[in-house]
Amino acid sequence: MVARGIAGAVCGDDNATMRFCSSCGSARIGLRVPDGDSLPRHVCEACGEIHYQNPKVVVGCLPTYGERVLMCLRAIEPRRGLWTLPAGFLENGETVVAGAARETWEEAHARVDVGELYTLISLPHINQIYMVFRATLPEPAFAPGPESLEVRLFDEHEVPWDRIAFRTIGRTLRNFFLDRKLGGFPTRVSALERRPPAPPELRGAG
């Protein structure tokens, strides 16, 4: 029996070869440019389904209480043991604001008032888009969710800059503290490319 819904794309690598059609279960998947299209797509040769793949959206919050920022110590891979802001994949049928609030509840058990969009970062090499909203904690109530080892508020001088889980989060935090000094928080749209390989002298060290 072939389980429906199997698509061969491996989590974290949306460019992986698709092994089975998620509509009919056939393994006859071709990669070709459909009529009227401009890019190669995975096309099922059995049922004709065209399997479009598009970027995933990561939504999160930069929650503050007074001057301090709420951060989570990751309990799961990737980047277990490093600090991040509460963020995760947007679900189907969910608004980006609701998703950001949900992730903040799941990872930090904090109820937040979600404010304006702050950073929008394209990550074309992993087919993701990050959207981080500023948010405020009405009260300093929070606790680690199942994906966090610890949740705490940081003053700017306490932020563990050498133990930040993701470049998107480091960039968001650096912008935030800079913009706070400047007195405004414009939406910051940017992109991150694939991280260049480490120079040979740093590879394999330790």
Q: Where do contacts with Zn ion occur on this chain (CB under 5 A)?
A: 21, 23-24, 26, 44, 46-47, 49
**Cβ closer to Zn ion: 5 or 197?**
5
53/136 with CB nearer Zn ion? 53
Q: In the chain, helix, strand, coil percent, each to 5?
A: 20, 30, 50
> Nearest distance from residue 1's CB to Zn ion, in Å?
16
Q: Report residue 188 as tokens.
A: 């910051």
**Nearest distance from C-beta of residue 180 to Zn ion, angstroms:** 52
Token pair recorded at residue 202 = 């740093």
Q: Which is nearer to Zn ion, 50 or 198 (CB)?
A: 50
Q: How far is the CB of 19 from Zn ion (least distance, A)?
A: 12
**Closer CB to Zn ion, residue 49 or residue 106?**
49
What is the biggest distance separating any 2 CA atoms in the chain, rounded to whole angstroms? 61
* β-bridge mates for residue 117, sequence order: 133
- What is the residue type of 38? S
Cβ–Cβ under 8 Å, residues 34 and 41: yes
Give dist(CA 60, CA 62) in Å, integer: 7
What minimum distance in Å lies between the beta carbon of 40 and Zn ion? 17
Contacts of 31 (CB under 8 A, 6+ apart): 40, 41, 42, 43
Structure-token match 């930040």, residue found: 164
Please say which residue, 4 or 163, places its beta carbon nearer to Zn ion: 4
Q: Using the minimum distance from each CB to Zn ion, give the nearer residue, 44 or 169.
A: 44
Token digits of residue 77: 């891979």
User: What's the min distance (Å) between Cβ of 3 and Zn ion?
Assistant: 14
CB of 85 to Zn ion, least distance (A): 39
d(CA 172, CA 132): 8
